[in-house]
Structure 1
Amino acid sequence: MTNEDLLYHYFSNTLTEAQRLEFNKRLETNTEFNAEFEFESNLKRAIKHETNASLKTKLKGFESTVKAKDKSRKVSVFNWKIAASMVFLLGSSWFAYTTFFGVDYNDLYAANFQEYPNTEYAITRSDSMDSPERKAFVAYEAGDYENAVKAFERINTAHKKAYHQFYIAQAYLKLGKADKAKALLKAIVSENEKFSGESQWYLALIALKEKDKVEAIKQLSKLTENYGYNKSKAETLLNQLR
């Protein structure tokens, strides 16, 4: 199946399961396909901000600009037909445009993000231990994320566990340090450590927060294909983004 055929079925929500797997594979490995997908996504954003009267002119100008900036991308006339067909099928209703194309990334992130609970270290009042791990989880549960990170990082190498990195990433997310969290979560997934599925979920949420639709779809697709964690939520998000 050609790139154009896959894109057509994607934007018309008619991908079969086999086509969906092929779509995700090309999105991750085929740079030309990725570029065409980004072009189509940009067209959708352009559509959202135009009324019907000026829409066609705006889209033609957008296509010309993209071609002029990067001739090597080889965007076909077929792409314009995909975008145009979507527009005119919807008609001139501004409500239809915003309903079909509108994606509020902040709302999606807020609706789906929840700090992961401490499931690894039981804290009791009678516990007389005062180890760095206990201090780290006490701080984490108290919402003292700065000190939680410091305590986790003070844990002796011999006593470090893979899940410590996951909770450090959680603390970084709460502190608004998404880049640091992302690096830790990617390492957990690549090394197939404990909390790999959970890490995949939070990588998708980071992409949402950064308004990176392509990356969000990529991470959510990996989650649904490889893990069971929050699979139904991931599938719902994928439907909202597509």
Structure 2
Amino acid sequence: MTINETLIEKKFSNDLTEAELLEFKKLYETDDAFKQEVDFLKNVQRVSETEDDALFRNQLATYETEISPKKVFLNSKWIKPFSAIAAIFIITISISLFMNKDINNDSLFSSYFEPSKNVSAPIVRSEKDEHLTNRAFIAYSEADYQQATSLFQKAFEQTGNSELLLYEGNALLAMDKVTEAIEVFKTHLTYSDALTNRTHWYLALAYVKSDQLDKAKQELTIYIDSEEKFKKTEAKSLLKKLK
């Protein structure tokens, strides 16, 4: 241990002699590296005042002993601030990894998702038209997804047109109601219509959004193996990124 390390340890242990205190003050005022180290440990000590996890301190002490037995000079008063450093580091890394994961999935979803265009029914804009399906597609085209969702539900119940489920799921996904969208898409897959295969694509995106990547890959594989040409290139690209 160097003289500087000894002074610092004694300072934080409140064990400096008068002569050592004078030397410590001199170094603090004249040695930038010494000052930075002391200031850093002071900040750590303040942070660690609320840290009192005995188990963690014991684990840290064991870790220090196993990794570098020749350099272990920390007494019980030093273990506490260093345990705080380790705890803060672990928490920060964990949060960072978790947030980056979410951000990456959201980014993937956003780069591939756009609500499906209406390829099922032409829109008739007339104040006299009360047809639920028409009203649903008008709301959908105007990005009024809340209204569109409600109208698509009613129109499906009234007409039994399963294609409407694809648009309802898209509207829900556009509103970030991912869990509900997944259920609607899964319902659509129980039917066989002109748009059923496309639902595998949108369901895969919903799984990406909800961090269910294995399921997303399964849906993409099914979709790529189908005869559907819609978004086929995008599906292959997304699957490659997920592997």
Superposition TM-score, scaled by structure 2 size: 0.53
In structure 2, C-alpha distance between the alignment counterparts of 1:156 and 1:207, rounded to whole Å: 24
What value does the CA root-mean-square deviation take over the aligned residues?
A: 2.4
Within 5 Å, which residues of 2 pair with 1:60-209?
Answer: 104-125=104-125, 128-155=128-155, 157-209=157-209
| 8 Å Cα contact 1:188/1:194 also seen in 2 | no
Q: RCO greater where, 1 or 2, for CA within 8 Å and sep 6 or more?
A: 1
In structure 1, C-alpha distance between the alignment counterparts of 2:200 and 2:178, rounded to whole Å: 14
Give the gaps of 5 or more residues in structure 2. 1-100
Residue 177 of structure 1 and its aligned partner are, at CA, apart by 1.3
| 8 Å Cα contact 1:136/1:148 also seen in 2 | yes
Amino acid at match of 2:202: Y
In structure 1, C-alpha distance between the alignment counterparts of 2:108 and 2:214, rounded to whole Å: 15
Percentage of pairs with the same residue: 23
In our comparison, the structure showing a higher alpha carbon Rg is 2
Distance of aligned partners of 1:215 and 1:130 in 2 relative to their CA distance in 1, 3 Å threshold: same
Count of residue correspondences: 142
| 8 Å Cα contact 1:201/1:220 also seen in 2 | yes
Q: 1:36 maps to which residue?
A: none
Residue 160 of structure 1 and its aligned partner are, at CA, apart by 3.1
CA shift digits 1:73-114 (9 cap, x unpaired): xxxxxxxxxxxxxxxxxxxxxxxxxxxxx9922221111001
Give the gaps of 5 or more residues in structure 1. 1-101
SS at match of 1:154: helix
Amino acid at match of 1:178: V
> In the alignment, does 2:235 pair up with 1:239?
no
Q: 2:231 maps to which residue?
A: 230
Superposition TM-score, scaled by structure 1 size: 0.53
